[in-house]
Amino acid sequence: MTFDPVHPRMPAGFRWSAATSAFQIEGSRQADGGGRSIWDDFLETPDAIVDGSTADPACDSYRHPGVDVALAAGLGLDRYRFSIPWARVQPDGAGRGNVAALDHYSGFVDRLLDAGVTPFPTLFHWEMPSSVEAAGGWLSRDTVHHFADYAEIVADRLGDRVAHWYTLNEPAMMTLQGYAVGALAPGKQLLFDALPTVHHQLLAHARAAEALRDRGAAQVGLVNNHTWVMPLRDTADDHQAAALYDVLHNRLFSEPLLAGRYPDLEALGLPPMPVQDGDLAAIAGSIDFYGINFYNPTTVTAADPVGPIPFDIVPTPGAPVTGFGPEWPIVPSALRDLLIDLHARHPELPPVIIGENGASFPEPERAGRVEDTARIDYLTGHIAAVAEAIEAGVPVEEYTVWSLLDNWEWADGYTQRFGLVHVDFETGERTPKASYDWYREHIASSRATAAGSEQGR
């Protein structure tokens, strides 16, 4: 059978999803008694957000949830990934939970179920209550227990209808960008002293997973940002630099979950993790699926040996780029290679979910119809890469587009647009782009092809 990169055949039962996160779309940040999060603090830092925006009203989704549910249902999604902000549910990071906020997300879950879309919430999409960060945040082991308490509160309210959960979103970015270099909230610049946040996030995930399963969860996992790391030159120094970056971005997070151990950090000149008895066993047994967010590969070269970081991230030679420029090269085959390599390292790999994949391209603020062919090409290439990985034996079961909507893109404010749906941030008007129609048709065609293959057996 010839492989078709435009219409790759997915196995029967393969799921299609789209995603958003609360702080990026909801607005109404203090509505219903919501508390301050580290992002409320970060966006008030001078020059932290490139356009000076404040995530209000964003897409105004908190006040208009039904519009987003209709768009998700209109795509024919199997599941919709959204997040529940910790600071709305526990404004001070403690206590029994904010009833008004829990009512809101309970109603949102009901709307999705009524529309035939399975809810797939994320408990932590970078939105830690400011009070928890003030007490140490992910640098403190106490945060593990606070997060598990929060998971219990949400599951007590939603667990009768929600069976599938992400605990954490992209712990790698929280460590590397939030605590190591300060590009994202909470804006710490600790470099390698940020490494304890890796262990505390993974342990918090494990404890939260226990709480969710105790309350009826069928599937629990986390989703991490992964990248395919490539040396700029075929030299020993560049290969060593690439290997170190691969450890920091990828293997620090995958190996405890998939192999029950951390890479040998001390051999790399790094401090060991703050592991206590029983931690690694809890982490290793904590996932029913492994979530991967993928956007681009990373090209690495050896840095000046006298600097604090022994590698530099550089443009990928010859690769086209997204609206972010050279830091976001477009190389769909890198996703295939990443998935195949992960499976080779971990032959007993659990089911894999692509929890985010998408791209931002320059688009107008006001729009009727956006013909975003560059996005369609990006998604087509990456879906084909997933199909090739499946053919090679990688157990990928779901693909998720980031994002359903244009949104507030963290430190980049409103300057980047990832959505299948254009949002006018002045009026709130939503206009499906060409990619929305393409994805809807792709989902329908994929299901029809898979069903035909099953009937033909």
- Look at strands 430-432 and 421-423 and give their pairing: antiparallel
Give the 3-state secondary structure of residue 270: coil
Alpha carbons within 13 A on the beta-carbon side of 267: 7
Q: Say how far apart CA 85 and CA 36 lie, in whole Å.
A: 10
- Residue type, position 373, single letter: T
Q: Say how far apart CA 357 and CA 293 lie, in whole Å.
A: 6
Q: Say how far apart CA 167 and CA 205 lie, in whole Å.
A: 6
Set 26, 127, 170, 398: catalytic member: 170
- Residue type, position 385, single letter: A
Q: How far is CA 448 from the centre of its chain?
A: 29
Alpha carbons within 13 A on the beta-carbon side of 209: 23
Can 356 be counted among the known catalytic residues?
A: yes
Q: Say how far apart CA 447 and CA 440 lie, in whole Å.
A: 11
Q: Say how far apart CA 306 and CA 304 lie, in whole Å.
A: 6
Helices (H), 20-129: 22-25, 38-42, 65-75, 86-89, 99-114
- On whether the CB atoms of residues 130 and 185 are closer than 8 A, the answer is no
Set 127, 152, 356, 363: catalytic member: 356
- On whether the CB atoms of residues 98 and 90 are closer than 8 A, the answer is yes
* Both structure tokens of 59: 């897409």
Active site residues: 170, 356
